[in-house]
Structure 1
Amino acid sequence: MIKSLRLLLTSGALLAVAGAHAQVVVPPTTGKAPDPAPTSLPQTTPAPAKSAPYAGGMKINISPDGSKYVRIMTAHQLWVRYSENNTGTVSATEEATPDQVDFGLRRSRVLLVSQLNPRFLVITQLGINGQSTISGGAPGEPTGPGKKPQFHLHDALVEYKVNKYLSAGGGLHYYNGISRQTSFAAFSLIALDVPGTQSPVIDAIDQTGRGLGVYARGRVGSFDYRLSVNDAFRNNVTSSPATLATDVAQFNPRSRGKVLQGYFDWEFLDKELNLVPFAVGNYLGARRVFNLGAGFMYYAEGMYSRAQQAPTPLPTTTADAWAIPYAKHDLSVLSADLFFDTPLDTASRNQTAFSVYAAAYKYNMGPNYVRYGGTLNPGAGSSALRGNAVPIVGTGTAQTIQSGFLLPRRLLGPKVRLQPYVSYIHGRYEGLRREAGGIQEVHIMDGGVNVLLDGHQAKVTLNYRARPDFNDVNDVNYRPEVTMQLQVIL
């Protein structure tokens, strides 16, 4: 009986399976057979015909409507340079070095611009300036100068938009006074670099041109303004009344007051964007701008000097050194400038453009003050006039001008543009006197060309400089300096 039941169940299961298979393999008795399933192959994305226009870095929207965002940018400037050095220059191994070819990072930056809402703005910038193999490194590193540069804060500010005419903020900021170029955008310059005259107190009482304090800025019609009050950084000059040269001013290490700054300009043509503090160097024909500006800086008792000879022997204690009589001097700087940038031939395919920036400065920094400096200085040692150093600022006056012309697009095709430029710096500082008593004036001339591969975002700059060697103020010789810069911004 059980055996018969098993046989019956097995037969039923086989019939069910056979029926199921019959439903699949038997073709339909009516209608048309179904079409075969389409074959889906992965589709290749066509390569873009040209690169997309640059839109100011990568933007990450934090809110769906884009009102909350973080914008990220990174940029680098690499220098390859030949320099004929100033008289007496030595290398890091104390060998006489009349000239050399060297490499350096002029700037390397990361910029973050963040908006919490249309009223709150946060700007953070980190990076390094001026690293070569003998300079620009972290101080005190046992591995030697030039290595492990301090990747430090350049900007760290928060801002609140009070109304359409006024924004207020604070932190480590770049809302400087004096001139347009004192708050320059380093990656959009006309020439290879800024002249140096625009930042008379850089890294003496500020940090890489930034102040620590509060500011107010805004625009009323065509009038743009910025004002700031900052604490002076403790200056990096080690001196006392005993170590000063007679009747030569220096930054006062005992002054800890406020630094007052302001800059005002009138925009006659297009209004510039002013979300960030960095002033554009030139627009390559994208805007038509004509601005006239004026600015100031004031730091009470920021300088000091000693009129009489130092006592002999020199004091051995700090208290005795500061007991020597000395005079305090207010530091003040006034400036006026002009910026003109315009497209030309807009109706044709040439799309040329012309740019010019000119500025005049008056410095009051105490008797006979002169500051020397050389960008990415290739000379070793402590001599103020080693390597490529020149007089940058001093009590007296200075004038600068930079001008560039964007050549026609058809010259090298649509992708590569050429922008030749010239630059001239003139200084007249009372501390540079010849034996006969007259002032030896400063003349620095630059000429070059920007090879624009993708606007300012990717460009190569070739620059020639005729640099005065002031080791003998009575007999100034000019040294050649040739620099090639590669700049990339993402």
Structure 2
Amino acid sequence: MKNLCLLLVSFICIQQSFAQDNEALKFKLNESGSHYFQATLLNQVWVRANESNPGTTVEGNLASSTFDIGLRRTRMQLFGQITDRTFLYFQFGQNNFNAQYNSTGNRKIAPFFHDALGEYRISSKNQLKVGGGLSIISGLSRFSQPSIGTITSMDVPVFAQTTVDQIDQFSRKLSIYARGQIGKWDYRYILSDPFPISSNGQTPPALSSVANFSTKGHAVQQQAYLIYQFFDHENHTTPYMTGSYLGTKKIVNIAAGAIYQANALWNKSATGDTTYHAMMHWAVESFVDMPLANKGAINAYVGYFNTNYGTNYLRYNGVMNPANGSTLTASNSMTGQGPTYGNSYPMFGTGHVIYSQVGYLLPSKRWMPYATATLAQYDRIQGLSTNTYNLGLNYYIQGNKSKLSLDFQNRPSYQVQGDVIKAGDRLNTLTLQFQLFI
């Protein structure tokens, strides 16, 4: 904790070095600039102290707590309006790069294409665009396709990216889509060709009584998302959805979305037969981001998610996990999808989730305190709640181009005694992030 405080003071002391205006890396392709090609660069450095889950080991040693430094996201975007109606977009980079990244393999194998798509605008304005390629465009929620350089909280609610690194490439899928804005409505429909679970770099779980992604068969995935915009329209350049406009727009939206894929998961029934399950998720949500009379701004969100992966599906996940092992066994831990050590907790499962966040941008435009709550009930955890809370503070050196974020997270842990799952101690994580975005 002392190290984090010293780093926070140091970063604030040098903030003036980054307070100058930055010109966008934008190149005109015609005299008016309506045709252009642009590059952006983003880096998010995390410094973190974490209370470990029971039994956690790091390089073979027990670790009740950890301290780590990592690159949460390092990205390059290349995009542009090539003609009046054609748009090109690429994103390249890496994620979750810390000392435990690929600890049993080659740490140098990290960057990859996140997005590579082309889009054609059929209508005179934004009423209808069609596109295709590798894209994060999604039908479930705004947080399923977040603009990570503009989010209010230090990190996104990852559970909303429901199949991340299972049957997609870090939430991206090979897709064709239609999207547009008609009056106050913003819509998108996506047809995706998901990756097989066998290509995600991990050994798929064995067929068992709980559902997991099937290694047999292949079906396309359908997604749809619809927003009603009461006041200003949201940005429509890329499929990504802005986290906060920092009071520059008056946004009040309601939205609904869904994802469906037939026979995506399987399990073994009590009689030994193999049963296939459709994956069906849906969500309803509301988003507000608007200036206030005192020159501050409010940012707020609430969403309800109904997630159905089949019988008792549950997956643990720890963002940029600082550990790499556990002394626990199948007899005293929940086995299946994802490691239970380090900072992991049940993040994905068949059940229900309510996610909410609120942030208040002070009139100085420099500070934004925020709070988030993820309230989940997953079938496999026998009625216990999986509630995670975050409190944080953003310090905007130059808007989202240069900012510091300090985040405190409180998460659950669980104990397994025979067939009974019990709530364990609640554990904490303190993270300092330095974001630079050009």
Shared fold (TM-score, shorter chain, > 0.5): yes
Shift of 1:61: 1.1
d(CA) in 2 for partners of 1:81 and 1:431?
30
1:422 aligns with 2:371: yes
The answer for the alignment partner of 1:460 in structure 2 is 404
Aligned pairs for 1:113-132 within 5 A: 113-132=79-98
Kept in 1: contact 2:143–2:157 (CA 8 A):
no
Aligned mates of 1:133, 1:450 — CA distance in 2: 26
Deviation at 1:408, TM superposition (A): 2.5
Name the residue aligned to 2:233. 271
Matched, 1:162 2:127: no
**Alpha-carbon separation, structure 2, partners of 1:196 and 1:471:** 23
Alignment partners' CA distance in 2, 1:122 and 1:332: 31
Q: Give 1:314-325 correspondences, 5 Å limit.
A: 325=273
Deviations 1:374-417 (A, max 9, x none): 001011137721000011121111010111001121xxxxxx71
In 2, the alpha carbon distance for the partners of 1:480 and 1:158 equals: 42
1:297-349 CA deviation, whole Å, 9 max, x = no partner?
0010000000237xxxxxxxxxxxxxx6310000100001110011012xxxx
CA distance in 1, matches of 2:81, 2:296: 35
Check if 1:89 corresponds to 2:49: no
For 2:128, give the aligned amino acid: L
Contact 2:235–2:242 at 8 Å: present in 1 too? no
* Corresponding position: 1:244 with 2:207: yes
Q: How does 1:332-371 map onto structure 2 within 5 Å? A: 332-345=280-293, 351-371=295-315
Q: CA contact under 8 A between 2:139 and 2:188: conserved in structure 1? A: yes
Quick one: which amino acid aligns to residue 356 of structure 2? I
**1:104 match:** 70
Q: Select which of 360, 365, 373 maps to 1:405.
A: 360
Is residue 189–residue 282 contact of structure 1 (8 Å, CA) maintained in 2? yes
1:184 to 118, 141, 146: 146
SS across alignment from 1:181: helix
**Does residue 326 of structure 2 align to residue 376 of structure 1?**
no
Cα shift readout 1:112-145 (whole Å, capped 9, x = no counterpart):
11222120000000000111111257x742xxxx
| 1:387 aligned to which of 336, 342, 357 | 342
Number of residues of Structure 1 aligned to a counterpart in Structure 2: 400
Q: Which has the larger radius of gyration?
A: 1
1:160 is aligned with what amino acid?
A: Y
383-392 or 280-289, which moves further after superposition? Answer: 383-392
Residue 66 of structure 1 deviates from its aligned partner by 1.9
| Cα pair 2:75 2:93 within 8 Å, conserved | yes
Which of residues 435, 440, 452 in structure 1 aligns to 2:384? 440
Aligned to 1:320: none
Q: Give, in whole Å, the separation in 1 of the partners of 2:29 and 2:102.
A: 37
Please name the residue that 1:78 is paired with. Answer: 45
Residue 78 (structure 1) shift: 0.2
Conservation of the 8 A alpha-carbon contact between 2:321 and 2:342: yes
Flag structure 1 segments of 5+ consecutive residues without an equivalent.
1-49, 142-146, 310-323, 410-415, 434-438
Contact 1:393-1:427 within 8 A present in 2 as well: no
Of residues 324-333 and 277-286 in structure 1, the stretch that sits farther from structure 2 once superposed is 324-333
Normalised by the length of structure 1, the TM-score is 0.79
> For 1:453, what is the secondary structure of its paired residue?
strand
Higher strand share: 2
CA distance in 1, matches of 2:297, 2:204: 49
Query: How far has the Cα of 1:228 moved from its partner?
Result: 0.7
Q: Give the root-mean-square deviation of aligned CA atoms.
A: 1.7
- 2:359 aligned partner, one-letter code: G
Query: Given residue 417 of structure 1, which amino acid in structure 2 is its aligned partner?
Result: R
CA contact (8 A) 2:312 2:349 kept: yes
The alignment partner of 1:135 has SS state of coil
**Matched residue, 1:328:** 276
Question: Aligned residues: percent identity?
Answer: 31
Q: What is the TM-score normalised by the length of structure 2?
A: 0.88
